[in-house]
Chain A
Amino acid sequence: MKTSPPTAPPPPDSAGAARPRGRAARAASWYTVALLISSVMILPILWMFTVALKGPSAVFEVPPKLLPHEFHFKNFIDGPKAIHFPRLLLNSLVITGLSVIGGVMTSMMAGYALARLRFPGRRILFYVFVGSMLLPPVVGIIPLFQLFKDIGWYDTWLPLIVPAWLGGNPLFIFLARQYFLSIPQSIDEAAKVDGAGHLRIFVSVMLPLTRPAWITMSILAFQMSWNDYLNPLIYLYSSQKWPLSVGMASFVSQFAGQTPDWNLYMATNLLYMLPPLAVFFVAQRYFIQGLSALGTVNQR
């Protein structure tokens, strides 16, 4: 109850003349803070560029120079060579590509059924899927490891791909369902009158209408799979089957006790970052959309 009585004039009015100057000061402080924030975000990345261009001795100069005296563009060739980059890149692309396709497709199918088809048990199934979003993945890792080992999938890509093809991610099922709910019911009724079956409705009516949903999901799935480190680390023994995440981490620790060639490493790291960066800049608004969806889930 400490609110000022309505008779007291609000402070801005008393300083009417000083207002433009106050606004300028506000802008100045805003930009100062903005600059500070951006430098925290961007400085490590810029520094990575300079290290990637340094020669082997320049990396260990004390105190370090911010700019290299000579540019070693060869790092971008020698670094990738050291970890068989082209092969690991191909591995990552295949694993990620297949798990994105499978994960998005089967989640969209499940979302379609949950949102638009009436069948016994649909409410319960929805709650089961939503509930399993809360279940931490750690609970499954040991039995799943044993299971995959028992059926001979250890040291293959199957444990990284097949789960995606079987429903993948409960979050995706949830997002798909929410999106399907927003499409008017009359559309599939019209399609049914025209004699279309469910498969037909799903593929040629629903998928075009839900484009933003599955693009967002594909991007999230791409990011998750490209980032995944624990699963390939557990399931892949042979280094020629590794995706880039495991290869890059081993680059840093491959000479146990010895320091890695940081300049070569940083050059390779930049190449590893390029695909997700490219996806981000092409599809920026979908990235944000995916996360914002999460931010507004609980409201209403």
Chain B
Amino acid sequence: MTAPPRPQRRKLGSDARAAYVFLAPALIGFTVFVVYPLIRSAYFALTQYNGLSVPKFVGFDNFRRMFTTDPSFWPSVRATLLLVVLYVPLSLAIGLALAVFCNQRMRGVSLLRTLCYLPVVLPVVATITLWKFVFNPQVGLANQVLTWLHLPTSEWLSGSDSAMPSIVIVMLWSVGSTMIIFLAALQAVPTELYEAARLDGAGPRTVFFRITLPLISPIMVLQVVLQMVTALQAFNQPKILSPDGMGGPGFSTRVLMLSIYTNGFPSLGRVAQLGYASAQVWVLFLVIVVLIAATARFSSIWTYSDHVS
């Protein structure tokens, strides 16, 4: 070791080398598992491809077929949007309400938080299959409770009108994760603001709508986006809960993800339609992008920001 102390420039070089070594796995992964599939799936969407033969370029035929002749496409768009419309507002409202409720100083509040969070901890497949039995029309807990309360019972998953709401109930049972995120946001609101408002004689409602809600609005936007993406990509619930595993009864719970799955990964002798499924992937992807962009744009109008000066 007779080398003189290294000059500054060499040191930067060694830093950079180390950085690329440390980043190598993530960079390889990013290229192979993000960039490559993105390009490839755009290409697949324009081809007819069964996974075995060479993909045959067909231009926009897949999209034409989707929008005009496929009898299951529009029902699956409807099912997907119904899921979003039911799930997103409810999960936000219930999650926020629970967070506000669990943010009060009461004995046992931490136990309540744990209980609300419990369903999130359980494996998704375990909770979905549990609810499949809860919704059993004859011997399930759901109808049993309704009978005790002298309320009309329901067919739940086997009724074409009640199937999607039932799926939404199962998804809402895991609202604890939304609650925890809102709780963290609520606890970050400075208490001086509440004290000041109280001194000014503001009631709890005014405090909530004038102080709490504006201050947590960035988290609200994040949640809208997260829950929307969750709902648009819901797969496990419709797949496991539908009686036929294909989004039945009828097409009532055949969301786009399930449609993509049945076309792209067929079982029981049906031919794979990877090209057609990829086209559906791109439709779903564009819907996600448009909804996120719209949320972001819309949110700048009502999100509170403190850069007023």
Interface residues, chain A, with chain B CB atoms under 8 Å away: 3-4, 6, 8, 10-11, 27, 30-31, 33-34, 37-38, 40-45, 47-48, 51, 59-64, 106-107, 109-110, 112-114, 117-120, 122, 125, 128-129, 132, 134-147, 149, 163, 165-168, 173, 197-198, 202, 223, 226-227, 229-230, 234, 244-246, 248-249, 251-253, 262, 265-266, 269, 272-273, 276-277, 280, 284, 287-288, 291-292, 294-299
Contact = CB atoms under 8 A, between A and B. Distances in A.
B292 A134 contact: yes
B23 interface: yes
Contact of B26 (A173, A226, A269, A272): A173
Contact of A249 (B125, B139, B288): B125
Contacts of A287: 117, 121
Nearest to B45: A142
A273 B16 contact: no
Given A136-B285, A146-B51, A41 B115 contact: yes
Contacts of A112: 22
Contacts, number: 280
Contacts of B122: 45, 273, 276-277
B36 interface: yes
Contact of B41 (A62, A140, A223): A140
Contacts of B20: 113, 119
23 contacts: A3-B201, A31-B106, A37-B101, A37-B116, A41-B118, A47-B141, A120-B16, A125-B23, A136-B229, A136-B233, A139-B37, A142-B44, A167-B30, A168-B26, A229-B240, A248-B125, A249-B125, A252-B132, A269-B130, A276-B121, A291-B177, A292-B180, A295-B180
B15 A118 contact: yes
B123 A139 contact: no
B125 A229 contact: yes
Interface of B: 12, 15-16, 18-23, 25-30, 32-34, 36-38, 40-41, 44, 51, 98, 101, 104, 106, 108-109, 112, 114-119, 121-126, 128-134, 138-139, 141, 144-145, 147, 173, 176-177, 180-185, 188, 198, 200-203, 206, 218-219, 221-222, 229, 232-233, 235-236, 239-240, 245, 257, 260-261, 264-265, 274, 277-278, 281-282, 284-285, 288, 292
A43 B141 contact: yes
Given A37-B101, A118-B16, 18 more contacts: A41-B173, A41-B176, A48-B130, A62-B138, A118-B15, A118-B19, A142-B37, A142-B277, A143-B278, A145-B264, A145-B265, A163-B29, A163-B33, A227-B125, A245-B125, A252-B132, A292-B181, A295-B183
What does DSSP make chain A's interface, helix, strand, loop or mixed?
helix
A139 B265 contact: no
Of A112, A122, A143, most buried by chain B (CB within 10 Å of CB) is: A143
Nearest to A265: B129
B44 A147 contact: no
Contact of A166 (B29, B108, B139): B29
A6 B278 contact: no
Contacts of B292: 134
A266 to B, nearest CB: 7
Contacts of B33: 140, 144, 163, 166-167
A128 B23 CA distance: 13
A136 B180 CA distance: 23
A132 B219 contact: no
Nearest to B131: A44
A140 B39 CA distance: 9
Nearest to A297: B222
Contacts of B25: 106, 109-110, 165-167
Contacts of A44: 130-131, 134, 141, 173
A249 B130 CA distance: 10
Contacts of A62: 138-139
A107 B163 CA distance: 40
Closest 6 CB pairs of A and B: A166-B29, A167-B26, A295-B184, A167-B29, A140-B37, A143-B40
A27 B281 contact: no
A38 B112 contact: yes
Contacts of A27: 106
A55 B239 CA distance: 29
A197 B123 CA distance: 41
B28 A167 contact: yes
Contacts of B129: 248-249, 251-252, 265, 269
Contacts of B40: 143, 146-147
Contacts of B182: 295
A146 B274 contact: yes
B34 A135 contact: yes
Contact of A122 (B19, B117, B203, B285): B19
Contact of B123 (A34, A173, A273, A291): A273
Given A145-B265, A163-B33, A227-B124, A295 B26 contact: no
B28 A294 contact: no
B71 to A, nearest CB: 22
B16 A230 contact: no
Given A41-B115, A60-B138, A269 B277 contact: no
B291 to A, nearest CB: 11
Given A64-B144, A166-B33, A168-B29, A140 B121 contact: no
B269 to A, nearest CB: 14
B139 A60 contact: yes
B221 to A, nearest CB: 8
B257 to A, nearest CB: 7
Given A142-B274, A276-B121, A296-B188, A34 B112 contact: yes
